[in-house]
Amino acid sequence: MLVIVNVGCHESSGAQPSSVNLTRSATPVVSNGIKPAADPPPPPGSSSASSASAPDPSRATSTEPSASPEPDTAPRLFDEQGKPLAQTDQRPTPTSPSFQKRIAAVAHAIVSGEVEPALSAFFPLVAYQQVKDVAKPERDYKFRLLANFKRDLLEYHHALGADAADYKFEGVTVSEKDAKWMPPGSEGNKLGYFRVLRSRLRFTLPTGRSRELELTSLISWRGEWYVVHLHGFK
Range of the domain at 218: 2-8+83-229
The Cα–Cα gap between 162 and 109 comes to 15
pLDDT for 70 beyond 70: no
pLDDT for 96 beyond 90: yes
The Cα–Cα gap between 170 and 10 comes to 8
- Residue 82 is classified by DSSP as S
Residue 207 is assigned to a structural domain of this protein:
yes
Percent of the chain, pLDDT > 90? 64
Residue 43 is assigned to a structural domain of this protein:
no
| Residue length of the chain | 234
Instruction: Confirm if 1 and 177 have CB atoms less than 8 A apart.
Output: yes
The Cα–Cα gap between 206 and 168 comes to 8
Mean pLDDT of 126-155: 95
Q: How confident is the model at residue 92 (pLDDT cuts 50, 70, 90)?
A: very high
Residue 30 is assigned to a structural domain of this protein:
no
Residue 176 is assigned to a structural domain of this protein:
yes
Residue 224 is assigned to a structural domain of this protein:
yes
Residue 221 is assigned to a structural domain of this protein:
yes
Q: What global pTM score does this model have?
A: 0.70
Residue 39 is assigned to a structural domain of this protein:
no
The Cα–Cα gap between 41 and 53 comes to 15
What is the distance in angstroms between the CA of the first residue and the CA of the last residue of the chain? Answer: 28
More confident residue, 28 or 229: 229
Residue 170 is assigned to a structural domain of this protein:
yes
Instruction: Confirm if 199 and 174 have CB atoms less than 8 A apart.
Output: yes
Total number of domains in the chain:
1
The CA distances from residue 87 to 76, 224, 226, in Å, are 11, 11, 13
